[in-house]
Amino acid sequence: MKSTGSVRLWWLLRACRRRNPLVRTSDRVELFFVAVAVLVVLVATACAGALGTAVHDARSQVYLAETQTRHAVTGAAVKGTTTVLGFDRKPVTSVNARWQVDGVEHVDHFTIRGSVKAGDPMVVWLDQDGNRVDAPTPTSQAGADAVVAALAVWQTVVFTETGLICLARSGFNRRRMRGWDRDLRSLVHNGGSGNRQA
């Protein structure tokens, strides 16, 4: 037994192939809009894949450059640390740390996850000029960035096309209802003369 979806698809395909007195002009126009929407989504799928590949390549280069231009030194926590509980009930520590670069001592403020006591070693990331920077992003993050970018573009196209199809169908349904009203009035008042298509 054929499913409802396959029966509807078969009916729509027949509506495209030849004239049928039961198929209205609005049915053919609606089918055309649906076909265009499907085509747009298919093209968007290919474009989203290409965009994902481009984002992956670009972000991989950025993250690789970070690993090559940043290095870690070991510092030490100094007095004046404060530990509080974060939103997830895990400790967040506000701490000052001291480290040396080329014999010059540096002190800066850090906010880290976990508990730290004065004198505990700390890893400090620096750029080529000795300035403090964030730890380099793992190159594996490029894959996640690519997936997010591709999925965002694809979903935007799909939701837009779905919205447009819903608006079009709503308009077609209103037109059909007006056509049915005219035909019913014609049937009641003058014996059903006029065979209009909605």
What pLDDT digit, counting tens, does each position of 143-183 carry?
A: 999 999 999 999 999 999 999 888 888 887 787 777 777 77
Q: Say yes or no to pLDDT of 16 above 60.
A: no
Does the structure show a pLDDT above 90 at 115?
A: no
pLDDT of residue 30: 77
Virtual CA dihedral for 16, 21, 24, 30, nearest 10 degrees?
-10
Tokens encoding 108: 């800066």
The whole-chain average pLDDT of the chain stands at: 80
| Amino acid (1-letter code) at residue 132 | R
Q: Which helix (H) or strand (E) holds 174?
A: helix 141-190
Structure tokens at 131: 């300035």
Cα–Cα dist 6/12, whole Å: 10
First to last CA, the chain: 31
Which pair of tokens denotes residue 180?
Answer: 């049915």
Query: pLDDT value at position 62?
Result: 94
190: tokens are: 């003058």
Distance from C-alpha of 159 to C-alpha of 156, rounded to nearest angstrom:
5
- Residue 18 DSSP class: S
Helix (H) or strand (E) holding 110: strand 104-113
CA distance to 60, 150, 152, 156, 198, per residue, from 47 (Å): 20, 8, 12, 12, 37
